[in-house]
């Protein structure tokens, strides 16, 4: 039975690959120039040789990087696990499509089909990871043995997290979020034990490997139970047939049925559908719908700012002086751009009699919620790097004060711009605020200078 299942499964996959290959051929025949491809191939070969020769001069620096990567290699298993947990919000990780589901309704075992897909994905991933590591080792001065070691660790934990990814896809979003937060806490605790208690990163990796093996033994007997098959099939079918090249050419993207994330679910909650009790409720509704339409950009911005506040400072502690002002600047610029964008998307707002104060205040409340996430991230990062103390609380207060002050200033200026009113922007004062923020992280009392910005601004305005 298993041999016939494998034969049919291989035929179905082959037919699917043939259809997609024909679609790619048609797309290439319309958009591909063989002469340009030949020149591009020659140019790429020359560039690779030049890059190889150029990188040889950085051999001592690369060796230093390699030793640093080796020290932090214990983080790779946790990164793979975190990747699996975060991707479980979007897809199940195992491409069990409607074709396999229809086969399972016949004489073919759903269990057997599932494991064919798992083994195939594991083999393909292993080949790609080792091939990539080998190519990087050949082209760059990095040690080939070191890169193959990284590929082996990555591939091992990728295999161990496949079932975790699969099962997490069918659980609630709040449980997924709780697991991810728990992972961050565990990684922070282990980093403390490695630095303070002198634990070996190798031992930490082995412990995680043993835990994941135990989790897999627990999951395997019930791997196909309590699975939301409708959700799995719809997402996987869209993922398989969403051909990027054709989608870009036709501006049509195959997407699964719309499903909302945690924040989007809140934005569409019962509270969001209540009747208007005052004009502020109407303003909140308008901003809520606008932010929901821009949710992708908001999510990318917040994630990028959190990464800037955590990853670089953890590697190089003094980078926190630079990354904190950068992260706050990026967030505020995106936030005020979204404020202005509402008027471009809804030109009627330029005509309607809007109460300016209420309009700005309601948006400010939404923007501050994102600042709170950055402030919490800044607090945790600084706590892990420098410990808990009075200086930390001064820095957090200065961070929040500058964020609130800059948001109010920038929103006011964008409102003037929308109304086409003349205004004078004080770039020097804005730059001074971010400089004080960075210096205040180095020496906390300097952060108090941030509190003087409103009075400095009033003094400059009065002098003009």
pLDDT band at 311 (very low <50, low <70, confident <90, very high): confident
Q: What share of the chain in percent tops pLDDT 90? A: 1
**CA atoms of 152 and 423, how far apart (whole Å):** 59
* Residue ranges making up the domain that contains 396: 260-463
Length of the chain: 464
Are 234 and 10 contacting, i.e. CB atoms less than 8 angstroms apart?
Answer: no
What mean pLDDT is predicted for residues 250-260? 54
378 or 360, which is more confident:
378
As a whole number of Å, the end-to-end CA separation of the chain is 87
- Asked if residue 149 and residue 84 are part of one domain, the reply reads yes
CB count in 10 Å sphere of residue 191: 19
Residue 54: its pLDDT value, please? 67
Lookup: tokens for 190: 């282990």
Residue 263: its pLDDT value, please? 47
Question: Considering the entire predicted model, what is its pTM?
Answer: 0.56
How many structural domains does the chain have?
A: 2
- Asked if residue 280 and residue 219 are part of one domain, the reply reads no
Are 199 and 187 contacting, i.e. CB atoms less than 8 angstroms apart?
Answer: no
pLDDT in tens, 86-117: 888 888 888 888 888 888 888 778 888 888 88
Lookup: tokens for 445: 């009392």
Are 302 and 375 contacting, i.e. CB atoms less than 8 angstroms apart?
Answer: no
Residue 277 in domain: yes
Residue 304 in domain: yes
- Asked if residue 219 and residue 264 are part of one domain, the reply reads no
Helix axes 110-139, 144-169, angle to 10 degrees: 150
- Asked if residue 309 and residue 195 are part of one domain, the reply reads no
- Asked if residue 346 and residue 312 are part of one domain, the reply reads yes
- Asked if residue 267 and residue 226 are part of one domain, the reply reads no
DSSP calls for 182-193: HHHHHHHHHHHI
- Asked if residue 220 and residue 305 are part of one domain, the reply reads no
- Asked if residue 309 and residue 403 are part of one domain, the reply reads yes
- Asked if residue 333 and residue 190 are part of one domain, the reply reads no
- Asked if residue 361 and residue 220 are part of one domain, the reply reads no
Q: Which of 262, 268, 350, 273 is nearest to 302 (CA)?
A: 262
Q: Which of 206, 241, 276 marks a domain boundary?
A: 241
Half-sphere exposure of 222 (CA within 13 A, CB side): 10
Residue 84 has pLDDT above 60, yes or no: yes
- Asked if residue 344 and residue 232 are part of one domain, the reply reads no
């Amino acid at each position: 039975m298993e041999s016939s299942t494998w034969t049919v499964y291989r035929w179905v996959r082959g037919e699917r690959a043939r259809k997609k290959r024909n679609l790619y051929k048609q797309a290439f025949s319309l958009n591909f120039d063989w002469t340009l491809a030949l020149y591009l191939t020659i140019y790429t070969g020359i560039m690779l040789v030049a890059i190889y020769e150029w990188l040889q001069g950085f051999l001592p620096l690369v060796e230093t990087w390699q030793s640093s990567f080796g020290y932090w290699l214990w983080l790779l298993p946790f990164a793979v696990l975190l990747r699996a947990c975060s991707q479980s919000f979007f897809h199940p990780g195992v491409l069990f499509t409607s074709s396999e589901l229809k086969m399972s309704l016949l004489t073919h075992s759903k269990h057997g089909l599932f494991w064919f897909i798992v083994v195939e994905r594991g083999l393909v991933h292993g080949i790609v990871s080792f091939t990539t590591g080998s190519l990087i080792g050949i082209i760059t001065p990095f040690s080939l043995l070191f890169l193959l070691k990284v590929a082996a660790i990555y591939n091992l934990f990728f295999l161990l997290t496949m079932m975790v990814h699969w099962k997490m896809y069918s659980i609630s979003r709040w449980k997924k979020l709780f697991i991810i937060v728990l992972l961050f806490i565990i990684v922070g605790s282990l980093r403390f034990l490695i630095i303070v208690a002198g634990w070996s990163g190798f031992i930490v990796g082995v412990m995680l490997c043993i835990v994941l093996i135990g989790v897999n033994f627990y999951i395997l007997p019930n791997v196909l139970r309590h699975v939301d098959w409708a959700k799995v099939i719809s997402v996987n079918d869209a993922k398989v047939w969403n051909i990027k090249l054709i989608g870009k050419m036709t501006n049509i993207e195959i997407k699964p049925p719309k499903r909302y994330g945690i924040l989007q679910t809140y934005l569409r909650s019962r509270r969001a559908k209540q009747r208007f009790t005052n004009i502020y409720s109407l303003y909140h509704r308008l901003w809520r719908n606008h932010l929901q339409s821009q949710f992708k950009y908001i999510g990318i911005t917040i994630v990028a700012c959190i990464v800037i506040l955590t990853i670089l400072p953890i590697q190089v502690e003094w980078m926190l002086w630079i990354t904190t002002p950068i992260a706050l600047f990026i967030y505020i610029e995106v936030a005020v751009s979204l404020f202005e964008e509402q008027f471009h998307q809804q030109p009627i707002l330029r005509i309607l009699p809007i109460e300016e104060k209420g309009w700005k205040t309601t948006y400010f409340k939404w923007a501050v919620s994102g600042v709170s996430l950055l402030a919490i991230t800044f607090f945790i990062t600084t706590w892990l790097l420098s410990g808990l103390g009075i200086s930390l609380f001064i820095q957090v207060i200065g961070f929040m004060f500058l964020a609130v002050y800059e948001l109010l200033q920038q929103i006011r200026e964008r409102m003037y711009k929308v109304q086409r009113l003349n205004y004078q922007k004080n770039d020097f004062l804005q730059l001074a605020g971010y400089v004080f923020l960075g210096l205040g992280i180095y020496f906390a009392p300097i952060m108090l200078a941030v509190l003087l910005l409103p009075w400095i601004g009033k003094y400059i305005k009065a002098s003009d």
